[in-house]
Amino acid sequence: MDPAPITRSLRGVYSTRLLCAAVCHLKVFEHAVNGAHTLESLQSELGLAERPANVLFPALRAMGLLALKKDRVRLTDTGRYLCENEPCHLIDYVGIEASDPGVLEMVERLRHDGLPGETSVSFVKDDTAPSPMDDPEAARRFTMALAGRARLLSPLVARAMPVAKHLLDVACGTGLFACEWLRLNPKARATLLDTPEVLAVAREFCAEYDEVNDRIDFLAADMLVDPLPGADLILSASLFHDWQSATCADLMR
């Protein structure tokens, strides 16, 4: 069985918002119609920061609307239906959703690399803003929400990971990815790093894995501030998409 149709349908709303933002607000297809732009020059002309461009352009390519040919951004045959010079264009049809609150929020996020004045996004924080994950109930609710996905993906991810002696799972969530990896590496240990509130939930899931539980260490820490323990393999299964580029670079170091 494949649950992908469920997750794709759930997340499809963001594709709709990106499409409406690109067509009706940023006018991406009008800027790209002559085929003269590289990705970098199109980003500059649209006034987008690196991260929003790295979200928007791959999404439009995945939709089959933009293509790269010899480092130039081209409209596909389908993408041409989103240009004003196309007699049968669909700009006005897409525009039916142009004023949807979710679309307008997406436009602001693309233009400003986040909402103006925003210091935190969803369930993450920066060093000046509190996180919903500091609240035990919120942390439990969010971690449990990701548990079903983790149960499905963790065996697949574990089989693709290399052999090592010590795994460090940063922002471990449920801990299921580390548990499945430990099953395949009977001589290895794993350190699960997350906030105390999340680790309380991870302990419950790890308790289901009797054969590996004694090879797991739980480390309550702030990955943005605290030094990370040594390990010869690091897992960050659901981490970097949450943060701005500068923070991601700091985490990688």
Tell me the mean pLDDT in the region 9-38. Answer: 96
- pLDDT score, position 1: 74
Q: Per residue in 84-98, pLDDT tens?
A: 999 999 999 999 999
Q: Across the strands, what pairs with 68?
A: 73
Q: Across the strands, what pairs with 69?
A: 72
Core vs surface per residue 26-43: b (16+ CB within 10 A) or e:
bbbbebbbeeebebeebb
Q: Per residue in 110-156, pLDDT tens?
A: 999 887 765 544 545 555 555 667 788 998 999 999 999 999 999 99
Nearest-angstrom CA–CA distance, 87 and 107: 27
Which domains, and CATH codes, for the chain? 4-112 (1.10.10.10), 132-252 (3.40.50.150)
38-52, 58-72, 106-120, 195-209: lowest mean pLDDT where?
A: 106-120
Is residue 45 within 8 A of residue 31, CB to CB? The reply is: yes
Strand, helix or coil for residue 224: coil
- pLDDT score, position 120: 47
